[in-house]
Amino acid sequence: MMSVVPLFLVSILLSATQAEQFTKCELSQVLKDLAGYRGITLPEWICVTFHISGFDTQTVVNNNGSTEYGLFQINDKMWCASSQNPQSKNICGISCDRLLDDDLRDDIKCVKKILDIKGIGYWLAHKPLCSEKLEQWLCEKL
């Protein structure tokens, strides 16, 4: 009986950590509402999110006095509210912590606002890494 408890705990921990790391095909399904928005294709989004967060919704990066959160690395200086940056403009009207969960609906709303205001150039990885030769970012299962 004692050996079952550690195994059970390990399975809970593994499922919790795996839930925040998407695969290319899982992400393709989740991000399909972004496909074509402002002319950006789904493979471009898959490529960008891979390069900026490794498909991990809990990625947090400190960057020159501000912090970037989540799958899309949304910055707390302008787009979301955080305790690290109380003077944020919070244009998306969201707590940065909400960008770290696996529910991407609010992230996608914020991404659309960023696209409307700044365009795809907000994500610096796009132009050098994700603007051409995107076949590898297609999901074969779609």
Instruction: Give how many domains the chain has, as a whole number.
Output: 1
3 within domain boundaries: no
12 within domain boundaries: no
126 within domain boundaries: yes
- pTM recorded for the entire structure: 0.83
Chain segment 45-92, per-residue pLDDT in tens: 999 999 999 999 999 999 888 999 999 999 999 999 999 898 999 999
Residues facing 60 on adjacent strands: 69
Chain segment 12-23, per-residue pLDDT in tens: 343 343 336 899
CATH number, domain of 45, equals: 1.10.530.10
Residue with the bigger pLDDT between 1 and 101: it is 101
Q: Name the residue range of residue 105's domain.
A: 22-137
2 within domain boundaries: no
Inter-CA distances, 95 with 19, 107, 110, Å: 21, 11, 11
Write down the number of H helices and E strands in the chain. Answer: 5, 3
Lookup: tokens for 48: 């960008």
42 within domain boundaries: yes
127 within domain boundaries: yes
